[in-house]
Structures are given as C-alpha cells and as structure tokens.
Structure 1
Amino acid sequence: MADKKPAIDQSLIRDLANILNETDLTEIEVEQDDLRIRVSRAGTPQYVSAPVPAAAPVQFASATGAPVAVAVAEAGKASKNAVTSPMVGTAYLSPAPGSRAFVEVGATVKEGQTILIIEAMKTMNQIPAPRSGKVTEILVQDGAPVEYGEALVVIE
C-alpha cells in the first residue's frame, strides 16, 4: 500500500503570506519535522521611497568614558568629500554596542584608518578612510541600513 502524504495546512500558508505582506519581506520559509514550506513573492520587486525622519544626535563614550555627541547630518546630503558605501548593509559607528565610536565630528583621521563598519551577509567589513583629513559630518546613524554609493562620512 502506498504511503499517504500529509495534508498541507492551508491556513499556515495564508498566515505566512500575510506575514510577507505585513513585513514587506520577499520570501519566508518554515521547516517543521519533515515538512518545509517556502512562500515568496512573484513578479518584479517594487521599491518605495519612504520619508526619512529627522536625525537625532547619537551618544557614544569617549576614551575617558564621558558621552560624546556625534552630529548626524540629513540623509541625502552629499558632498564631493563624502566617503560612500562600497556595499549594501548595516552601518555601525563603533566596534561594539556601547563602545567608543571609530571617529567623531571634528576628529582628524589618517588614510586607511577605520571610520566605521558595514555588516553585509553576517560579515563585518571595516571601511577605511580614503584620505587623511578632518571629519566634518557623519551622515549615517549607528545601526542604520546603507545602500551602495550612499554618503557615509565627510572628510575635508
């Protein structure tokens, strides 16, 4: 006698599809025992431009432990001296949460010095200063997603 396949839980598939819609994910997969269900969106991806909220100052600890305000400029404001993101990922201004930032506004950096980290595909990528100079603006917030070519830091 042939083995009977278990019935697929259609309500689970509907729930997964609803999660895709609510979270704007493109794909979700669930595995339970011998059953694996993958729900994905078909068609061309749609990109929606969302308004950017006003940035608030971000606090980091200085070498002495005192809080240091890092001025975060408006998104989209670019400069010819801006260091741009070489990849898509998440930008981190310090090596670990609560630790001192790599650079601060007003700091002098040397060419090759790490100015921030971009996490992409669970890999931490150190972003070096392309030239020596003074940091005049930090254009991203800690933990913010960044896109390829997005201005990150301005070095004059």
Structure 2
Amino acid sequence: MISKLMEMFKEKELGEFEVEIKEGDTSQLKLRMANHSSGYQVPNSAPLPAPNPEVHSPSPQLEETQSEKSGLVSSEMVGTVYLKQSPEAPTPFVQVGQSVKEGDTILIIEAMKTMNFIGAPHAGTVRKVMVDDGEPVQFGSELMIID
C-alpha cells in the first residue's frame, strides 16, 4: 500500500502528502512525504532593474499566419494544463487533425486544485497543439489552434 501511495505521489507531482492511520487513541502509522522539486522555489536575489522599453520587430520564424491566429484557443486562467482525462489515459482529449464540435472537451486546466474542463470554442479541426501535458500556463497562453 505504501509503495502505491509513493507511486501516486510521484506521478501527480504533489508538493506534500501526509497519511495517518489511527486505531483508537494511538497512531499506528504516520507517513509524511515532501517533494520540494515539484514546487517553484523563489531564489534569494536582489531585485532586477526595470527593463528599458525596446521595440522589436518579430522574426519571420515567430510570425503566424492570419488563419492560425483566427482559430487560436487561449487560456482564460492560470494553472496547469492536462491534455488527457487522467495520467493513465492512453490518448489525449484531442489530436492534431481531429474534428471537434463546439463544447467538446479539448483539455483540462487545474487551477487552485479545481479541474476545469475546457471546451472547444467552436466546431472545427485541431490544427496545432501548443502546450505539453502537465505544463503550467498563464492567462492568455496559447493552447491550440482549431479552425
């Protein structure tokens, strides 16, 4: 049982996990695990100077065509993106080339321990998936292109 709990702890990349089994008034087993590598560590350093505003022209490699931008699906929240129903699921919700209907679940964003199922904003074909499973995303992060 403990080895299964440890596997789940590693798979889910939990920051901290505690199990206590009691029988009557005494503890029979108490297990506490911490995975400090899964959390973001803030480095101790002096504040950085304010950046000077500079105007950069976009490089040709980073420019996207207008048709790609029109079908862009962006994150509406900060969290962690999951492309599959569960870590054990064999396939993601959607794959490149797959047709989707409006409202079909295309991914999950976990925010504050809540799983938010994200639906396709419109019917179309998945042209590009721009995030990896388990990747942190910010508000406005580009997730995928559906046209």
1:84 matched to 2:102: no
Give the structure 2 partner of residue 24 of structure 1.
42
1:154 matched to 2:145: yes
Distance 2:135 2:142 in 1: 13
Quote how far apart the aligned CAs of 1:75 are: 9.3
**TM-score, structure 1 normalization:** 0.52
1:107 matched to 2:125: no
Q: 1:76 to 1:135 in 2, by over 3 A?
A: same
Unpaired segments ≥5 residues, structure 1: 1-21, 26-40, 47-73
Q: 1:118 to 1:75 in 2, by over 3 A?
A: farther
Contact 1:75–1:139 (Cα < 8 Å) also in 2: no
Distance 1:92 1:128 in 2: 13
**TM-score, structure 2 normalization:** 0.55
Distance 2:100 2:141 in 1: 20
RMSD across aligned positions (CA): 3.1
Q: 1:148 to 1:115 in 2, by over 3 A?
A: same
Quote how far apart the aligned CAs of 1:45 are: 9.9
Contact 1:75–1:140 (Cα < 8 Å) also in 2: no
Quote how far apart the aligned CAs of 1:85 are: 0.4
- Decide which structure has the larger Cα Rg and report it: 1
SS of aligned partner of 2:70: coil
Alignment length, in residue pairs? 93
Deviations 1:133-152 (A, max 9, x none): 00000000000000101110
Q: 1:151 to 1:76 in 2, by over 3 A?
A: farther
SS of aligned partner of 1:86: coil
Distance 2:41 2:62 in 1: 23
Q: 1:110 to 1:146 in 2, by over 3 A?
A: same
Equivalent residue runs for 1:53-92 within 5 Å: 79-92=69-82
Give the structure 2 partner of residue 126 of structure 1.
117
SS of aligned partner of 1:90: strand
Quote how far apart the aligned CAs of 1:81 are: 1.0
Distance 2:115 2:63 in 1: 24
Distance 1:76 1:121 in 2: 33
Q: Aligned AA for 2:111?
A: A
Q: Aligned AA for 2:142?
A: A
Distance 2:76 2:48 in 1: 22
Quote how far apart the aligned CAs of 1:79 are: 2.1
Q: Aligned AA for 2:79?
A: G
Give the structure 1 partner of residue 134 of structure 2.
143
Identity of paired residues, percent?
Answer: 46
